[in-house]
Amino acid sequence: MNGETATSTGSVPAAVTFQREGTLVTAHVRGDDPQRGFADSALHYAGFVPVARLREHYHRLPLGMTRPDEQRQTVTRAIDLLQADGIDFSADPDLIDTALPVHADTEMSLGDRLGQLTDSLSRARHTSEAVAALSELTAPGTGALQRVVEALEATADWWEGLGGPADPLYAARLRRIAGHVDICALEIRSLRGELADRHTDHPDHVRVHTERVTREDPAVSRVTAALAVSPTARRDTPAAIPPTPAERAALPTTRPLATPGR
What confidence tier does 262 reach under pLDDT thresholds 50, 70, 90? very low
Q: Rg of the chain over CA atoms, in angstroms?
A: 24
Is 72's pLDDT higher than 50?
yes
Residue ranges covered by each domain of the chain: 1-106+249-262, 110-233
Per-residue pLDDT reduced to its tens digit, 211-224: 554 455 554 444 44
Please, which residues have CB within 8 angstroms of residue 123's CB and are 6 or more apart in sequence?
Answer: 129, 205
Higher pLDDT pick, 22 / 7: 22
What confidence tier does 251 reach under pLDDT thresholds 50, 70, 90? low
Average pLDDT, stretch 1-14? 60
What is residue 235's predicted lDDT score, i.e. its pLDDT?
Answer: 40
Per-residue pLDDT reduced to its tens digit, 93-124: 999 998 888 876 667 788 888 889 999 999 99
Find the largest Cα–Cα distance for the chain. 74
What is residue 34's predicted lDDT score, i.e. its pLDDT?
Answer: 76
Per-residue pLDDT reduced to its tens digit, 155-214: 999 999 999 999 999 999 999 999 999 999 999 999 999 999 999 999 886 555 555 544
What is residue 105's predicted lDDT score, i.e. its pLDDT?
Answer: 63
What is the distance between the alpha carbons of residues 166 and 159, in angstroms, rounded to a whole number?
Answer: 10
Which ranges of the chain does DSSP label H, i.e. alpha helix? 35-46, 68-84, 110-123, 127-138, 144-160, 167-198, 203-216, 222-229
Q: What is residue 49's three-state secondary structure?
A: strand
DSSP string, 149-218: HHHHHHHHHHHHTT--TTHHHHHHHHHHHHHHHHHHHHHHHHHHHHHHHH--B-HHHHHHHHHHHHHH-T
Q: Which of 61, 13, 19, 8 is nearest to 36 (CA)?
A: 13
What is residue 112's predicted lDDT score, i.e. its pLDDT?
Answer: 84
Per-residue pLDDT reduced to its tens digit, 11-66: 778 899 999 988 899 999 998 767 888 999 999 999 999 999 888 899 999 999 99
What is residue 27's predicted lDDT score, i.e. its pLDDT?
Answer: 96
What is residue 216's predicted lDDT score, i.e. its pLDDT?
Answer: 53
What is residue 7's predicted lDDT score, i.e. its pLDDT?
Answer: 54
What is the distance between the alpha carbons of residues 84 and 20, in angstroms, rounded to a whole number?
Answer: 24
What is residue 17's predicted lDDT score, i.e. its pLDDT?
Answer: 96
Q: Helices 144-160 & 127-138, crossing angle to 10 degrees?
A: 20
* Element (DSSP H or E) covering residue 58: strand 57-60
Q: Which of 42, 27, 181, 14 is nearest to 109 (CA)?
A: 42
Is 68's pLDDT higher than 80?
yes
Is residue 32 a contact partner of residue 11, using CB atoms and an 8 Å limit? yes
Lowest mean pLDDT among 69-83, 152-166, 245-259: 245-259
Lowest mean pLDDT among 51-65, 223-237, 239-253: 223-237
What is residue 59's predicted lDDT score, i.e. its pLDDT?
Answer: 96
Task: Give the global pTM.
Answer: 0.68
